[in-house]
Amino acid sequence: MPAPAYGAMPLSKTFLLVRVLQVIAMLIIISITANLVSLIVQTGVEPPKEVVGTLSVTCIATLYILVSIAFYWSEANLGLLVMSGVDSLLLIAFIVVAVTVGKPVSFLNCYVIGKTSKEVEASSAYAFTVSVANNINKMGDKLGLAAWAGTTKSNCFQVKAVWGLGIALCILFTTSCVLLPTLFYKNKKTAPKSVV
């Protein structure tokens, strides 16, 4: 089944490519954040709100993207403008995700975690352990994202990957917000006019 042209086949194919990249990025974010939530919950501490918020927004956005592809393929002309509006809202949501995830981890250097002296590493591990012990099985967000991201290189790289993919999704949603109205107006110009 060929892709719908909407009066501009190159733009239509570009939009489909953007949608595929959005789905891939969101599935990666879901898997990473779900893994982080699982690791954090296993310690008996409530996960940071940044991770839970990112997971929630990304799950909702993924569901919308998968449904919107079907509407796009069925050549729902007015649906293009509706999708443009929803994409704009998701753009705002992913800007918030990128800022809230990036703010606590932007200065973390993942490569130096574990490369410090034994005394610094021991005192850091002790401080983290005391913090975890004080917050185990307590409601509330006592340990921030930076505390979890800074414990291991793996956690640090995972959080930085989520941050980077959030920024990439901002770019992709900006692109789809521009392409959808353009496709709507191109299709409107090429639509056959009815003879009265």
Dihedral pair phi/psi, residue 42, rounded to 5°: -60, -25
Residue 136 lies in a domain: no
Specify the long-range contacts of residues 53-60, CB closer than 8 Å, at least 24 apart: 53/97, 53/100, 54/29, 54/97, 54/100, 54/101, 54/162, 54/166, 55/29, 55/30, 57/93, 57/94, 57/96, 57/97, 58/26, 58/29, 58/30, 58/33, 58/97, 59/30
- Please check whether residue 111 lies inside any domain of the structure: no
User: What confidence score (pLDDT) does residue 140 get?
Assistant: 46
Quote the distance between the C-alpha of residue 6 and its chain's center: 28
Domain-located, residue 132:
no
Give me the residue label for tokens 């005394």. Answer: 119
Q: Does any domain span residue 49?
A: yes
Q: What is the pLDDT of residue 97?
A: 95
Residue 85 has pLDDT above 60, yes or no: yes
Question: What are the start-end ranges of the H helices in the chain?
Answer: 9-42, 49-73, 77-105, 118-135, 145-149, 153-190
pLDDT digits (tens, 9 = 90+) for 95-132: 999 999 998 888 888 787 766 556 555 655 555 555 55
Establish if 196 belongs to a structural domain.
no
- The answer to whether residue 74 is domain-embedded is yes
Report the pLDDT averaged over residues 71-95.
Answer: 91
* Mean pLDDT calculated for residue range 20-26: 97
Q: 117 in a domain, yes or no? A: no
- How many separate domains does the chain show? 1
Residue 45 near residue 143 (C-beta atoms within 8 A): yes
In a domain, 146, yes or no: no
Higher pLDDT, 40 or 195: 40
Find the domain containing 15 and state its range: 9-106+153-190
